[in-house]
Each structure stands twice: as C-alpha cells, then as structure tokens.
Amino acid sequence: MATHFDTHDEHYHAPGLQHHFEDMKQQQESDSIGMWLFLVQEIMFFGGLFTVYLVFRSQYPMAFAAGSNHLNWWLGAANTLVLIVSSLTMALAVHYAQLGKRNLQVVLIILTMIFGATFLGVKAVEYTDKYHEGIVPVSGLNLKTEKSHEKIRSPRELNSQTGRDDPRESLRIPVGEKEGLAEEHGEHHYSNPRGEFQWVDTSLAVKAQEEDYLTDSEQIGYFSNGELNADKFRDKVRIFFWIYFAMTGLHALHMIIGLAVMSWLLWKAWRGSYTGEYYAPVEMAGLYWHFVDIVWIFLFPLLYLLGRHFGGGH
C-alpha cells in the first residue's frame, strides 16, 4: 500500500518544495521562524547602537543638538517618505505574489528597487556635503585643500538675506588654525590641508551656560578652568557625527543588501517562479525590507529632529 510520501512523490510535487520538508506548510513555517530569528538578532545589533546614542546624548545634549541642527532635516524627511512608500510597494508585491500575478509582481519589485536606490542617492548627497564641509569624524577623510576653498556665509549675512538664522551655516574652522582663514568681500573661507574634522560653533553651549541648564557631564566636558573650551566642545560634536555615520552607514549597507535580494527576486518573478502555492521568498524579503524601513523611522527623529528646538533649527 502506497504511503503518503510515495503518493506525494509519484503524483505531485509542489513548486519550490525542498526535499527535507513534508509539505509547503511546514516549509513556510520554517522560513518564517528562521527569518524572525534573524530579525531578532538584527534588533539586538541595532539596539546596541541606539543604546550608545542615548547614553552619549544624555551626557552631552548641547553638543548633540548642535550636530543635529546642522543636518538637513528636509532630506531626512524626504528619505523617510521614500521608504514608507517603498514599504507599500513591497507589501503589494507580496500580495500579488500570493495571487500568482506575475506582471504586477515584477512592476512592484521594480518600484521598490527604485525607491531604495533613491534613498541611497539622497544619502550619498548628504555624505558628499559632509565631506566638503569637513565634518566627517575620521581625520583625513574630509576634503583636503591647501588654499581657502569653501565659502561659508556668516549668520549675520544669512539673517540679512533670509530673515532667520540657520545654524547649519555656522562658521566651522579649526580652532588654533587662524592662519587658514581668509576674508574676501566679507565672506569667510577655510583651508583644511590635513582633512581634519571642522567645528567651532559653540553657540548652544554658551546659551546653555547662560540659562544654567548644562548637565554635570557638560560642565566637565566643555570647560577648562571655568572657561568654555571650543576644542572640547568640538570633540563632543564629533562623537555625534561618529554615531551618525555609524548608524546611517550600517543602515545604508542593509539597504544595499536589500537591493541585491530584490534583484534576485525580480529575476525569479520574471521567470514566473512565484505562485499562490509558493511565494515564501517574496514574503521573507518583504519582512527584511520592512525591518530596514522601521529602523530608519527611528533614526530620522533621533538624528535629525531631537534637539532642534535648542538651536531653532529650520
């Protein structure tokens, strides 16, 4: 008498069913458990980075606010919108994979990839700006120039032109390197022959001192002999940018991996591999994509928005 397995092997084999599973239900359950275990360890990994951020932010809120105020929150908001829409297209790709509609699968995977690439493009623009402005925290990785290079408008000039003060345009020239300064027609320039981290704007620390809401760590971390030390404040702002590049860089790496997975999915979907009976790869890729999007949902307010009220960031 034929067994269940004999009948299954002789008469029907579900598409995508691996030989070590009894049926598609068991395989899908195993896929889901494996993916969720992977996402749990990813949560633990990013959770450590968020913990580092929160610890340093609680110690040096004014330095972190200064760094946050400098970031372009419009670009961050645009990237947030891009990823939210990409989550929608990814969810629809999973939906149409379950229905076995090949063409819609292909279109939606392509749209998801376009949104992912757009996110990385915007992030590349931000990183390039940081390179030219001299605020990459690694010495030697900023734009090196022997002569005065970048025109940086003063807050007074900005006020006269826009009617408001933009802390992102503050003068950032290495303390102690006044020989690198030049003024032409009232506009400030800087030179950076060694590609060092650039920052001298201490206005938030001064404001906090005047209004007496510096933390104990800030009293120690920003001051020397009772006087505000611009070098020490710069070093604390540098910590913010270390964390910024570490967290957004790792997030961008996950996006690149996601795009590689999407490329493979697109090829398989084009071949018609996913049907109502077999769509687990699309569903698992969707879980990964949503996780990466959610991480950014937390990164955006923490890095771009928190602390902007201190400096009146726009």
User: Do 170 and 190 contact (CB within 8 A), yes or no?
Assistant: no
Identify which of 210, 179, 202 has the alpha carbon closest to the alpha carbon of residue 192.
179
Q: Give, in words, the CATH class of 27-142+202-311.
A: mainly alpha
Q: Is residue 109 exposed (0-12), middle (13-18) or buried (19+ Cβ within 10 Å)?
A: buried
More confident: 30 or 167? 30
The pLDDT-based confidence of 149 (bands split at 50, 70, 90) is: low
Helix (H, G, I), strand (E, B) or coil at 188: strand
What's the pLDDT tens digit per position in 33-64? 778 898 899 999 999 999 999 999 999 999 99
pLDDT higher for 167 or 29?
29
For the chain, the structural domain boundaries read 27-142+202-311
% residues pLDDT > 70 (the chain):
74
User: What per-residue confidence (pLDDT) applies to 153?
Assistant: 38
pLDDT band with cut points at 50, 70 and 90 for residue 161: very low
| pLDDT value, residue 14 | 55
pLDDT band at 1 (very low <50, low <70, confident <90, very high): very low
pLDDT at 306 over 90: no
Mean pLDDT confidence for 184-206: 73
Mean pLDDT of 232-253: 96
DSSP 67-128: HHHHS-HHHHHHHHHHHHHHHHHHHHHHHHHHTT-HHHHHHHHHHHHHHHHHHHHHHHHHHH
Q: What is the pLDDT of residues 87-99, one digit of tens each?
A: 999 999 999 998 9
Whether residue 167 has pLDDT greater than 90: no
What is the pLDDT, as a whole number, of residue 193?
83
Judged against a pLDDT cut of 90, whether residue 164 lies above it is answered with no
What is the spatial distance between Cα 124 and Cα 208, in angstroms, rounded to a whole number?
A: 33
Three-state secondary structure call for residue 314: coil
Given a cut of 50, whether residue 180 has pLDDT beyond it is: no
Q: Average pLDDT, whole number, for the chain?
A: 80
